[in-house]
Amino acid sequence: MPKTVINGTWDTAHPDHREFTGTALMACGAYLAGAIGARHVRVSGAGHAPHQDRPDEVNAVLARLWQS
């Protein structure tokens, strides 16, 4: 079954938030994707909630997943 893990890149977040939260969450996403054999997608310009920050990009990723 195809799987996808989606993370924001936290590149627009305040540097403190990126350092203390974003870096850890991006690492967790990468680890989880590897552990379950999933595709890992990082959404540029998004933080903790990529589906809210960049809905068109997240919807496109989900559409590709559902079509596979």
- What domain range includes position 14? 4-67
Q: Which value, to the nearest 10 degrees, does the dihedral of the CA atoms of residues 17, 18, 20, 21 take?
A: 90
Instruction: For residue 42, give the DSSP letter.
Output: E
pLDDT value for 57 = 97
Domain count for the chain: 1
Instruction: Per-residue pLDDT tens, the chain, 68 aa: give them.
Output: 999 999 999 988 888 888 888 899 999 999 999 999 999 999 999 988 999 999 999 999 999 999 98
pTM of the model: 0.86
